[in-house]
């Protein structure tokens, strides 16, 4: 009998524009995608948000590959037609490693849904509705460049703008964008953990700009500092990097550390955990939005499916394909006239993966037999 297989492809995908945050700059996205193929031949795809280095997430591409090969796939030995539920149960005794687990779990789920001819939207229980999306703007070399970038994105149809901020690049760019585009532009900022609790007086000055939210000003573990800032009832505080699990989300809500939560499926271990976090947030009146990590078509489609759930009331960081890539590994996503994207409703994540494009972008690959 043939084995199931798990294939991973490391892709080098050129970005249309360098993307700089307080954590560094990317000009080529180093992307890990994976395909699970059951013994019966049905297969599914997934994308990881892991980076080449552990600068943003504690896990990174090499650690994900090692965890997948040595820890996770051996736990699936003997499985012939795997489901996402059995996968989660098999991984339950291995703590941590949400990126590695999420990559395997999501590929298995995609295969399961394609086999059953069911869309991820329907599996998650979402509504077939257009998703309002926003654009995340990296740190440019000058205020003038920032204003010209934002003008371009608004003319592209984006209805909400998120600015990356860092010490020395905060009040001035926000003021410039407000002055150029007015107080009605839905605007938010993301610090990617770049500030310390001693910076609270500076961060409070952002309250003057009517921002939708301030995302992750402090380090991942600084829940109490985030709670203290949120207690001031100024700009709503959003957590991103602090939330690696359902427990993290429940603790943050209990502490009052999160007025808003950014759910990134890859970061929390996949779409089932994402849905659980969504459900807890919805029950506690905490709005959520779907975060992004410069996804290709595979991750973008699945994130759109997640964002069809009712608690996703804020625009997601799920841009059109052209925001990041001139060429993708599946069909392009384009904004409609209302600045929305539509989640595919074909089986699984709904993307026909372009295997020729995978070949063209691949710089490394591994095939792991399972069982």
Say if residues 121 and 343 touch (Cβ distance below 8 Å).
Answer: yes
* Residue 317 binding Mg ion, by CB under 5 A: no
CA neighbours closer than 13 Å in the CB half-sphere of residue 290: 30
Question: CB 259 → Mg ion: shortest distance, Å?
Answer: 15
Stretch that binds Mg ion, among 44-52, 83-91, 183-191, 227-235 (CB under 5 A): 183-191
- Least separation in angstroms between CB 192 and Mg ion: 6
* 51 interacts with Mg ion by CB under 5 A: no
SS3 call for 37: strand
CB neighbours of 152 closer than 8 A, spacing ≥ 6? Answer: none
Per CB under 5 A, the segment of 212-220, 279-287, 305-313, 330-338 that binds Mg ion is 212-220
Active-site pick, 23, 101, 162, 164: 164
Q: Does 23 participate in catalysis according to the annotation? A: no
**3-state DSSP call for residue 134?**
coil
Residues forming beta bridges with residue 136, ordered by sequence position: 162
Nearest Cα to Cα of residue 73 among 82, 132, 113, 169:
82
For residues 143 to 182, the per-residue mask of contacts with Mg ion, x marking binding by CB under 5 A and - elsewhere, is: ----------------------------------------
240 binds Mg ion (CB under 5 A): yes
- The answer to whether residue 264 is catalytic is yes
Q: Which residue's CB is nearer to Mg ion, number 105 or number 215?
A: 215
- Number of residues forming the site for Mg ion (CB under 5 A): 3
Which H helix or E strand runs over 12?
strand 4-21
In the complex, what is the shortest distance from the CB of residue 164 to Mg ion, in angstroms, rounded to a whole number?
Answer: 8
Among 51, 59, 105, 190, binds Mg ion (CB under 5 A): 190
Residue 179 CB coordination number (10 Å): 10
Q: Is 177 helix (H, G, I), strand (E, B) or coil?
A: helix
Q: Give me the count of residues in the chain.
A: 371
Residue 22 or 37 having the CB closest to Mg ion: 22
Contact 254, 286 (CB under 8 A): no
Question: Smallest distance, Å, CB 6 to Mg ion?
Answer: 29
Mind telling me the catalytic residues? 164, 264
* Interacting residue ranges for Mg ion, rule: CB under 5 A: 190, 215, 240
């Amino acid at each position: 009998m043939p084995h199931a297989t798990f294939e991973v492809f490391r892709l080098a995908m050129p970005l249309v524009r360098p993307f700089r945050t307080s954590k560094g700059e990317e000009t080529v996205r180093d992307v890990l995608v994976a395909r699970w193929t059951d013994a019966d031949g049905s297969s599914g795809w997934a994308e990881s948000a892991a980076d080449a280095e552990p600068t943003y997430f504690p896990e990174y591409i090499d650690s994900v590959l090692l965890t997948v090969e040595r820890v996770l796939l051996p736990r699936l030995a003997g499985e012939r037609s795997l489901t996402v539920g059995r996968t989660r149960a098999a991984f339950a005794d291995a703590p941590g490693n949400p990126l590695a687990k999420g990559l395997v779990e999501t590929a298995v789920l995609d295969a399961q849904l394609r086999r059953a001819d069911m869309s991820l939207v329907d599996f998650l229980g979402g509504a077939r509705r257009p998703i309002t999306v926003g654009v995340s703007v990296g740190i440019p070399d000058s205020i003038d460049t920032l204003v010209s970038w934002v003008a371009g994105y608004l003319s592209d149809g984006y209805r909400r703008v998120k600015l990356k901020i860092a010490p020395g690049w905060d009040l001035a760019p926000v003021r410039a964008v407000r002055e150029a585009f007015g107080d009605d532009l839905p605007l938010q900022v993301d610090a990617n953990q770049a500030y310390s609790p001693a910076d609270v007086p500076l961060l409070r000055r952002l309250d003057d700009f009517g921002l939708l939210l301030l995302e992750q000003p402090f380090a991942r573990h600084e829940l109490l500092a985030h709670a203290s800032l949120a207690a001031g009832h100024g700009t709503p505080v959003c957590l991103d990097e602090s939330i690696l699990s359902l427990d993290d989300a429940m603790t943050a809500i209990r502490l009052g550390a999160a007025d808003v939560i950014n759910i990134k499926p890859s970061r929390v271990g996949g779409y089932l955990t994402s849905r659980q976090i969504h459900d807890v947030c919805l029950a506690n009146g905490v709005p959520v939005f779907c975060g992004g990590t410069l996804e290709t078509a595979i991750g973008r489609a699945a994130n759109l499916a997640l964002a069809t759930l009712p608690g996703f009331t804020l625009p997601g960081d799920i841009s059109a394909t052209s925001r990041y890539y001139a060429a993708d590994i599946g069909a392009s996503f384009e904004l409609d006239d209302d600045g929305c994207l539509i989640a595919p409703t074909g089986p699984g994540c709904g993307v026909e993966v372009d295997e020729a494009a995978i070949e063209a972008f691949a710089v490394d690959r591994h095939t792991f037999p399972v069982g």
